[in-house]
Amino acid sequence: MKPIGTVHTDALSVPNHWTVSDVEGTLIIDDFYREGLMGIEPGDRIVVIFHFHKSRPFTPQDLTQHPRGDVTREKRGVFDICSPVRPNPIGMSVLTVTGINEAIISVKGLDMLDGTVILDIKPYHG
C-alpha cells in the first residue's frame, strides 16, 4: 500500500460519518498521479479509500464495540459498524467534488481528519 495523497481541512473536528458531514477541504494528490484524475469533475461523487492513521491497534476485544463509542448503545460486530478500530485500518467515505485544479480536488462531506493518507479514489455508483 502506497499513499496517493493526503486530506487537508481546517476543521479541527469532523462528524463521525460522511452521511452527516458538510465539512469542506481538499484532497492533495501526489503530482505523479495527476493524469489518473482525468474525467473527475465538479458535482461528481467519489469514493475515497483511506488509512485510519490515528486509530489504536485492533485487539480481539474490539470484535464487538459500542457504536460511536456510546456505552448506552448495545455492542455490535466491528463489521456492522464504521468504527476506525478495525482489523485492517481502512476507511471509506463518499465525498462530493466541488472543484478540481491540477492535482488538488476540493471536496465537501469530509469525515476524515487533516493529514489522513489517501489510498484510492473510485467513481461512486449509488
The site for its own copies (CB under 8 A) is made up of 1-2, 4, 17, 19, 32-33, 35-40, 46-47, 49, 60, 63-64, 75-82, 86-88, 90, 92, 119-123, 125-126
What minimum distance in Å lies between the beta carbon of 13 and its own copies? 20
**How many residues belong to the chain?**
126
Of 27 and 113, the one with the shorter C-beta distance to its own copies is 27
The CA dihedral of 80, 84, 86, 92, to the nearest 10 degrees, is: 70
Whose cell is 476485544? That residue is 61
Smallest gap from residue 1 Cβ to its own copies (A): 5
Residue 78 CB, nearest distance to its own copies (Å)? 4
**Sign of torsion, CA 54 11 15 72?**
positive
Q: CB of residue 96 vs its own copies: minimum separation in angstroms? A: 15
- Around Cβ 6, how many Cβ atoms within 10 Å? 19
Q: Give the residue with the Cβ less far from its own copies, 10 or 41.
A: 41
Using an 8 Å Cβ cutoff, are 9 and 114 in contact? yes
